[in-house]
Amino acid sequence: MQQGALVNGEPVARQNILADGSVRDVSFDIPVERSSWIALRILPSSHTNPIFITVAGKPVRASRKSAEWCLSAVDQCWKQKSPAISAAERGDAEKAYEVARQAYRKILAESADR
């Protein structure tokens, strides 16, 4: 079975292990130059939750593509949910969605061009 390490969603290392049901230690030496998320992937089926690494006190800004996807997801969610929100609550809901949009716009502005 092949396992790999991901940094900000990009594969950076691979290793073959025997898939015999035994617990196995896995390690990778990966240089991390900027704040990032790291996960272990078991090909082709799954990966772990991310571990967030902070470098020089800076936040994780994985990629513009990721931030754009999140911003689009907020817009899509609003499009789907807003018709079912009562008129009395719609204004507050719209403000909450705008807070989310602003947060992702800030992340987008701070993200690397990847």
Q: Decide if pLDDT at 37 tops 80.
A: yes
Percent of the chain at pLDDT > 90 equals 54
Are 62 and 50 in contact by the 8 Å Cβ rule? The answer is no
Is this model's pTM higher than 0.85 or not?
no
Residue 114 confidence (pLDDT) = 58
First to last CA, the chain: 29
Averaged over 86-104, what is the pLDDT? 97
